[in-house]
Structures are given as structure tokens and as C-alpha cells.
Amino acid sequence: MKKASILIVSALLLFSCHKGELPHTDRTKGLVAELLSALDSTEVYSEKKEKEIEALKKRLPGETTNETFSLYYDIAMAFSNCVGDSSLVYLEKAAQFALSSGVDSLWLEAQIGLAAQLSEYGYYLEAHETFRSLSREKLTNNLLIRYYRAVALFYSNKYTDYNEPKNLRRKYRNLYNIYRDSLLMVADTMSIEYLHSIERKEARAGNIAEARRYNAIRMSIIEDHHSAAYATCLYDRFAIAYLYERNLTGEAFDDLLQSAIIEVENNNQDIASLLRVESLLNSINEVKAAKKISDYYFASLQRLGSKKRVVDGVEQTIKINDSNTRLIEKRNKELWLTITLISILLVAIVHTLLQINRSRLKIISLKNNLERSDKISKSYIGVAFQLYSSYIKRLDIFRTKINSSLRKGHTAQALELTSPSGEIASEERRELFNNFDRAFVDIFPDFIEVVNSCLKPEQRIVPKRTEILSNELRILALIKLDIKDNTEIAGMLHCSVKTVQNLRSILKARLAIPEEEFNRIISVL
């Protein structure tokens, strides 16, 4: 569907700007699913198209001049919506064959087709030169109809090209109207060319009822409801409602979706509507579906090789990419906020029950969470929850012991239990470090190996058999979690600031690489 692709771009651009609830019917959701399913089967449709073209090639040459020419022309038309260069090659072959056969009417037919395709692919200068080489006086009525339609489409492409100066675009639109009216004067009133042109003319004049009537006649005479011609009718029915009547309905949107499905199934690579469908899906946060459509759209542009379509799509492509980027950033911020709130809640529980230092909050630090897998994200929360649950249980046991001692009048025992230098406090610190070490190494299993790879061979750190991380590695682990202040690190490790400073200085001296490179490696690990 060649011309429809430009109109779909305009329609869906406007459609994507609508606010509020999107129009739909009971069929809309199913049609969207069907379109996405069709995109999964594009290789099947491509192979089918290739087989059809190969079958035509095998019939060359035909038994007569007309048959041979028709085969060249049919192959060119089969290529026209999927591989632009091949279409132009076979139109040239058709023209050369007609020229060598001495049949002027066939040569003129090939030249008209060639000019039309050059125009569609954005080769306006070449198309214009080809049109000028034709002698209108030699055209039969059928060829004159094709000629008027091809020239009308040429000027339609020119006046819809926003890279053209405004005054020239007005001139091109007037020329389009002239050639369209010329077509209407010579075409059969029941032909597709006539009905299509008069429908568009009535719609632009605001005669919506008449435009719909002509569209209905076109649809009634097209027997194959899976053909490109039927897809064009469906799109034009959508365009009447939205572009001209300014009344987008669920039924009109269904027409657009059904048209796109048929075009995909016909292996049409010239479906600019998919770019706007992506924009629409982005607007309702269907990022996965939008990405699928975007991948097909860009691949189809490359296969088609249309300079015009690429130019038309650049600006919208940038907008869609920006939209996707903003949407991803928004989702990342929402995810960051959600996990942050969970972290704050967990820290509040710990402070209320046990007044454990703030190192737990850093354990579930989210700085690099959005760059890692879902498994790591879940591990952070799961480990933190497990730690807090463990300390709640330990607090209950501790509280029971104190309560029991006080009830029995064992004040000295209660004081011993609450002494900050007692065995319980030391055991708590050992348990804290052990839990932290296990959780950290589970989430970053290569941490020790990567750190040692940055140190001099003779200075590598080997934890004791009774510990998972040494004090030096534990400091680096906290730095990895974005805890870099010496005072804060000292508080978490229950040691002096001087000790932390000394350990960090020792680590610096053991490095085999520059400190800046080491810090970068630790941060991205």
C-alpha cells in the first residue's frame, strides 16, 4: 500500500496526540495481538513472497512478446513494496525488452511504471525526467489513465514533502489537483482508480457522506479481502473518519489495525504506520509491544531501500527514541523509589527493635540495582529481610532473658546481659559481620577475585579460614555499596576512624594499578 503509508504517518501522528482514553471496540485488543503475532511470522511471509517471485521468473521468457513483457512487469510490481532496487531493475528490463521488440505501447507502459516507482522511492529528479520523455499523444486511453495517476501521485509526494519550500508545495498541490481531475475525466467511473481519486476529492471537500459511499463501492468490488487493495480501502475508511471528519472512533482504529495486519501478511515493507503504532503503544506504556513493532519497522526500511521513506521517518524516529528513553527513565525512577521506600521501612523496623547501626540500609543500597538483573534485586531485599527477621528473634530471646532475671531479682545478671562490652555484644558483632559477609559474597561472588587481580601478586588478600571477608575486604565492600566516609565505615565496623584510615592507606600501597582505575573497577563490579 504505497500512498497509504504517508497518510497513515499523518493520521497516527495526530492520533498519538489525543489525550484521555483511547478509542476501542471489543475487537481492538484482539487485533493488536494479531498484529504482533503477524510480526512474529514475517519470515514466513517473506519466503512466500520470494517463492511467488521465483515462480514468475521461471516462466521467463513468455511465449509471446506481450506475455514476456507482462512477466517482467509483474515481477517488478511484486518487488515494488519489498525490495525497491529490484523493482526498478525489472522495470528497466521490461522497458528494454519493449524497446528491442519495437512495441511503443509496451515501452510507454514500462516508462510510466518506472517513473511512478522512482517517485515513490524519492528519486524525484529521475522520475520527472522520465515523465518528460513520454509523448502524451502516443498514449492510449488505458495508458493515459496510468499516466495521470502516476503524475498525480508524483505531485502528491512532492507537496507532502515538508523539506520542500512552502510556495513550491502549494504549486505542487495545485498540479496534483489538475492531474487528479484529468484522471477523473478519462477513467471508468467503476474503476479502482476513479473511485479512489473521487473518494479522496470528496473527503477533502468535506463531503464525508459521499466519500464514505465511494469507499463502500470500492470495498464491494474487491473480492480478495487479504489483498493490498483491500488494505488500502480499510486505511482510507479510517482516514475519512479521522483525518477529514476529525472523529476518531474505535471502529476506525480497528480499520487501521486490520489494514496493517494485511500489509504485514503481504510482506509489504512500506508500512510507515508501524512507526506511529509504536508511538501509540508507548503512550499507554506497552513498551515491549512498541519495541517489537519498532524493530520490524526499521528492518523493513532497510529492506525496501526507499530514500523518501527514510527521510520521512528520521524526525519521527528521533521522537520515538526520545519517548522510549523518557519512558525507561521514568520506570527506572519509579523502581528506584519503590525499592527505596521498602529499604527505609526495613531500616525503621531495625531501629525500633534493636537499634542496629545503619549499615543494613547500605547493604540493600540501590545505586547499581537498576543496572543488574532482577535476581540481584530480589537477593538484596531477601537477604535484608532475612537479617531483620533474625535480629527480631534474637531481640525476643534477649528481652526474655532480661525480663526473667529482673523478675527473679537477679539484677547483676541483668546488668551483665546489657553490658556493651559483654559476650552478647561481641557475639552480635561477629554475627553481624558474618551475615554481612555471606550476603555480600552471595550477591558479588567474584568480589575477592577481582580485588586481588588489582593488587600486587605478593600483596593479595587471603581471608582467614574462620572468616569470609577480612577487615580490608569489608571496607572495600562498604565502598562498593557507596559508603565511602571513614567515620561512617568506622561506625559500621565498630572500630576507630584511625584504623579505617590506616587500612585504606595500606590497601592503596598494595595496588598494582592506578587508584582511579581501581575505584572504577570496584564501582562497576
Q: Which residues contact 298 (CB under 8 A, 6 or more apart)?
A: 317
Final residue of a structural domain among 328, 344, 367: 328
Of 9-18, 93-102, 380-389, the range with the lowest mean pLDDT is 9-18
pLDDT at 280: 65
Residue 243 vs residue 335, higher pLDDT: 243
Residue 370 vs residue 436, higher pLDDT: 436
Quick one: cell of 330?
521514568
Residue 32 belongs to domain with CATH number: 1.25.40.10
Residue 301 vs residue 352, higher pLDDT: 301
Average pLDDT, the chain: 80
Whether 273 and 165 map to the same domain: the answer is yes
pLDDT at 491: 82
Q: 420: cis peptide before it, omega within 30°? A: no
pLDDT at 250: 87
Q: For a pLDDT cut of 90, what percent of the chain falls above it?
A: 33
Compute the average pLDDT of residues 353-372. Answer: 56
Does residue 431 lie within any of the structural domains? yes
Nearest-angstrom CA–CA distance, 96 and 99: 5
Binned at pLDDT 50, 70 and 90, residue 279 comes out as low
Whether 306 and 358 map to the same domain: the answer is no
pLDDT at 22: 66
**Any long-range contacts for 26-35 (C-beta under 8 Å, 24+ apart)?**
27/254, 28/250, 28/253, 28/254, 28/257, 31/254, 31/257, 31/258, 31/261, 32/257, 32/289, 34/257, 34/261, 35/257, 35/260, 35/261, 35/264, 35/277, 35/293
Number of domains comprising the chain:
2
Residue 373 vs residue 120, higher pLDDT: 120
pLDDT at 16: 42
Nearest-angstrom CA–CA distance, 145 and 136: 11
pLDDT at 432: 75
Whether 308 and 435 map to the same domain: the answer is no
Whether 385 and 311 map to the same domain: the answer is no
Does residue 342 lie within any of the structural domains? no
Does residue 499 lie within any of the structural domains? yes
Say yes or no to pLDDT of 74 above 50: yes
Quick one: cell of 69?
513483457
Does residue 333 lie within any of the structural domains? no
Residue recorded with cell 571496607: 475
pLDDT at 194: 95
pLDDT at 14: 42
Say yes or no to pLDDT of 9 above 50: no
pLDDT at 70: 95
* Strand ranges in 184-337 using DSSP code E only, listed in sequence order: none
Whether 427 and 287 map to the same domain: the answer is no
Say yes or no to pLDDT of 423 above 60: no
Does residue 334 lie within any of the structural domains? no
Query: Which of 34-48, 162-176, 297-311 holds the top average pLDDT?
Result: 34-48
Compute the average pLDDT of residues 378-397. Answer: 60
Whether 360 and 311 map to the same domain: the answer is no
| Chain-centroid distance, C-alpha 109 | 42
Of 97-111, 119-133, 259-273, the range with the lowest mean pLDDT is 259-273
Q: For a pLDDT cut of 70, what percent of the chain falls above it?
A: 73
Of 10-19, 97-106, 471-480, the range with the lowest mean pLDDT is 10-19
Q: What's the pLDDT tens digit per position in 222-275?
A: 999 999 899 989 989 988 998 899 888 889 889 888 988 998 898 887 676 666
Final residue of a structural domain among 328, 362, 393: 328
Residue 350 vs residue 446, higher pLDDT: 446
pLDDT at 331: 67
Whether 150 and 79 map to the same domain: the answer is yes
Binned at pLDDT 50, 70 and 90, residue 6 comes out as very low
User: What b/e readout covers 457-486, taking b as 16+ CB neighbours within 10 angstroms?
Assistant: eeeebebeeeebbbbbbbbbbbbbbebeeb
pLDDT at 196: 95
Whether 133 and 71 map to the same domain: the answer is yes
Does residue 339 lie within any of the structural domains? no
Whether 119 and 265 map to the same domain: the answer is yes
Whether 47 and 174 map to the same domain: the answer is yes
Say yes or no to pLDDT of 334 above 90: no
DSSP bridge partners of 511: 455
Say yes or no to pLDDT of 202 above 70: yes
pLDDT at 442: 82
pLDDT at 12: 41
Does residue 337 lie within any of the structural domains? no
pLDDT at 313: 54
Going by C-alpha positions, the residue among 229, 288, 209, 301 that lies closest to residue 3 is 229
Final residue of a structural domain among 276, 294, 328: 328
Quick one: cell of 95?
522497458
Say yes or no to pLDDT of 309 above 80: no
- Residue 258: strand, helix, or coil: helix
Whether 286 and 387 map to the same domain: the answer is no
Whether 259 and 363 map to the same domain: the answer is no
Compute the average pLDDT of residues 25-36. Answer: 89
Nearest-angstrom CA–CA distance, 14 and 245: 13
Q: 384 lies in which domain range? A: 354-524
